[in-house]
Amino acid sequence: MNGSPAGRTLRRLADAIDALSTRVGEAAAWMYPVLVAVLIANVGLRYGLGRGFIELEELQWHLFAAAFLLGFAYTHAADEHVRVDLLRDRQSERTRAWVDLLGALFLLLPFAAIVSYYGYDFFWRSWSLRERSAMPSGLPARYLIKGVLLASMLLLAVQALGSASRSAARLLAPPAREPEGDA
């Protein structure tokens, strides 16, 4: 493996964080088939039997929100997040590494940290009150989905550090040699 010892350490850290985000994201993806089953059951009960269930409707949005939120860090780890590829394709590898490093440290990490900061209070108040749905037959633990929001933002913050580590490792690596042409 080429590069400095610091670069190798940063790469190993980034790999470990990517692996965590990937495991969480792949586990969260299994919520989508469950969501589809709940949707089918809810529609079948509503139109087949003329009976709707608030619990199923709330479960639908809880499942969707959890899968979506827990997929943020995975999407970043897989490098499938939104960016302006038209501009990125024109940049050198070194410039891309700088943009990724600065973006992770000065945009993604502060965003995740701020949402986590306010999300903690949001979750804690809900937990303290043992908040439940306002609907009598709704889900009993509204604080769970608020906890998922907090957990997803904390994982995104950790992933931002992993992405910054990977970018820093790329910057510490020796520049790639240009192939020599036939002169």
Local confidence band at 180 (pLDDT 50, 70, 90 cut-offs): low
Q: How far is CA 100 from the centre of its chain?
A: 16
Domain positions in the chain are: 5-80+91-172
Determine the longest span between alpha carbons in the chain, in angstroms. Answer: 81
Which of 63, 57, 59 has the alpha carbon at shortest distance from 45? 57
d(CA 44, CA 16): 43
d(CA 107, CA 101): 10
Query: Percent of the chain scored above 90 by pLDDT?
Result: 76
Query: Percent of the chain scored above 70 by pLDDT?
Result: 93
Digit-coded pLDDT (tens) for 17-30:
999 999 999 999 99
Distances (CA, A) of 150 to 66, 90, 117, 145: 11, 36, 8, 9
Local confidence band at 158 (pLDDT 50, 70, 90 cut-offs): very high
Local confidence band at 80 (pLDDT 50, 70, 90 cut-offs): confident
Digit-coded pLDDT (tens) for 87-124:
777 888 899 999 999 999 999 999 999 999 999 999 99
Query: What average pLDDT does the segment 61-89 reach?
Result: 88
Percent of residues in the chain assigned helix, strand, coil, to nearest 5 = 75, 0, 25
Q: CA angle, corner 169, sides to 168 and 173, nearest 5?
A: 120
- The average confidence (pLDDT) of the chain is 91
d(CA 61, CA 45): 17
Decide which of 6 and 182 is more confident. Answer: 6
Q: Are 112 and 163 in contact (CB under 8 A)?
A: no
Average the pLDDT over each of 20-24, 153-157, 171-175 and give the range with the smallest value: 171-175
d(CA 64, CA 35): 7
